[in-house]
Amino acid sequence: MNRYQQQLIHIRQSEEAYLTRTEELTARNAALQRRIDDVTQQYVDEKGKTHPVACVFTRGFVQQYNAALGVSAPDAAAATPNK
């Protein structure tokens, strides 16, 4: 067997290993995404019932977030709509 044939065999083996690993990673990523969706999109109460999770940002959270970003608090009078 000459050098070219050896290289060709090695390349084919490498490609096969690469494709196998890619398939494994794709399957693993899909499984992880399902697990992430299970924990982030459902809430299970003490009775075992599942409920969708609503995204809620409280005023306190927004204040802390803005403070972390260095955003000053808006004037309360400016936030009140004029009638």
pLDDT digit string, tens, across residues 27-49: 999 999 988 887 777 777 788 88
Segment 52-65 mean pLDDT = 82
C-alpha angle 36/49/29, rounded to 5°?
Answer: 15
Name the pTM for this structure: 0.48
pLDDT number for residue 81: 60
Structure confidence at residue 80 (pLDDT): 57
Token pair belonging to 29: 């990523």
Whether the predicted pLDDT of 59 surpasses 60? yes
- To the nearest whole number, what is the mean pLDDT of the chain? 85
